[in-house]
Amino acid sequence: MQNPSISFPHIDQTGALKTLGDWVRFCASQMEHQGCFYGHGFLTPWDEARFLVLRTMKLDWDVPEAALAATVLSVEVDALYQAVQSRCVSKIPTAYLLEEAWFMGEPFKVTPQVLIPRSPIAELVAARFAPWLMHEPANILDLCTGSGCLGVAMARVFPTTAIDVSDLSHEALSIATENISDKELGMQIQVYQGDLFAGLDEKKYDLIVSNPPYVDQDDIDDMPEEFHHEPRMGLAAGKDGLDLVHKMMAQAASFLTDGGWLVCEVGNSAVAMMDAYPQLEMIWPEFEHGGHGVFIVSAVELQKLQN
Ligand SMILES: C[S@@+](CC[C@H](N)C(=O)[O-])C[C@H]1O[C@@H](n2cnc3c(N)ncnc32)[C@H](O)[C@@H]1O
């Protein structure tokens, strides 16, 4: 929450800031004063401020510490001031200000048409979905792909697997397509547009991975300002957050091979999910690097929903 006693300094009051390090310190302090929320790829204001200042100056975020002693030119001040003000006052997430977010060690283009990548499913991808996936999958579907981050990450981990990514939003898919093409993965990843499985007729996958919209109405009402810059259709999913997931559960078995798995993130809607499917054996893995509310369910279990 914003500290009402500290207004954001006017640009004329920033003359004492001489170095990149001074701007990082100013940005981090203002993020704290103005009540910024750190949930979009950074855990601390210091890390986010460093990234915002260095990337605004077109420098790598991991330059040596000594670079922070470099002087900022007067012609560079305006860009830094605008970036810090937009982050701290308008609460625009850093990833949107820079059109760049990092996921599993590589950068992705992001705009407000796509969610900022942060899914804990990354940990499962890095572990190649062991111990559930027993063999190299022939086909994988990334359903509700947004920026394409999970599809790309899986293409890296399974370089011989055919990967389909799909989303309802044409705007999101244009960003996903750009990311896939920038990474030269167009031969491995096919892009589909449609409502959930629509447009994927007759296809069968060894693995379906999805981070769909799953935020329930109470959480939507309580969200920090930063989340309101993200696309609503990437977040909101009805009263219990499961509007889309229920449809996915009903259809998934038809799109999985017999030994296949569905991996799906539902975040805080996990309790509603467990209440809704007491008859299914669902696995809820724990994450070393944070995050929660991801379930794994087999095709065999999902077939129970079709009887
Ligand atoms: C939570 S975002 C996830 C984006 C990405 N997978 C990630 O992890 O960053 C959910 C995505 O679902 C898409 N979506 C919403 N409703 C959909 C539907 N009915 N069918 C397919 N995709 C949908 C949204 O456009 C959004 O890109």
What topology does CATH give the domain 113-306?
Rossmann fold (3.40.50)
Q: How far is the CA of 231 from the centre of ligand 1 (A)?
A: 9
Q: Give helix 20-33 / helix 74-88 axis angle, nearest 10°.
A: 20
Pairing between strand 101-103 and 205-210? unpaired
pLDDT at 6: 73
pLDDT at 199: 86
- Residue-level pLDDT, tens digit, the chain, 307 residues: 555 557 999 999 899 999 999 999 999 999 999 999 998 989 899 999 999 999 999 999 999 999 999 999 999 999 999 999 999 999 999 999 999 999 999 999 999 999 999 999 999 999 999 999 989 999 999 999 999 999 999 999 999 999 999 999 999 999 999 999 999 999 999 999 999 999 897 899 999 999 999 999 999 999 999 999 999 999 999 999 999 999 999 999 999 999 999 999 999 999 999 999 999 999 999 999 889 999 999 999 999 998 6
Tokens of 192: 């589909």
172 lines ligand 1 (CB under 6 A): yes
Ligand 1 atom at minimum distance from 212 CA: 10
For residue 21, count other CB atoms closer than 10 A to its CB.
18
Q: How far is the CA of 189 from the centre of ligand 1 (A)?
A: 17
pTM of the model: 0.95
Asked whether 55 and 28 are in contact (CB, 8 A), the reply is no
With tokens 């009805």, the residue in question is: 238
Pick the closest to residue 147 from 127, 120, 119 (CA basis).
Answer: 119
- Residue nearest atom 17 in ligand 1 by C-alpha distance: 168
Tokens of 218: 């109470």
pLDDT at 307: 67
- Residue nearest atom 12 in ligand 1 by C-alpha distance: 144
DSSP 271-290: HHHHHH-TTS--B----TTS
147 lines ligand 1 (CB under 6 A): yes
Pick the closest to residue 293 from 217, 249, 242, 224 (CA basis).
Answer: 242
Tokens of 236: 């909101």
Where in the sequence of the chain do the CATH 3.40.50.150 domains occur? Answer: 113-306
pLDDT at 100: 97
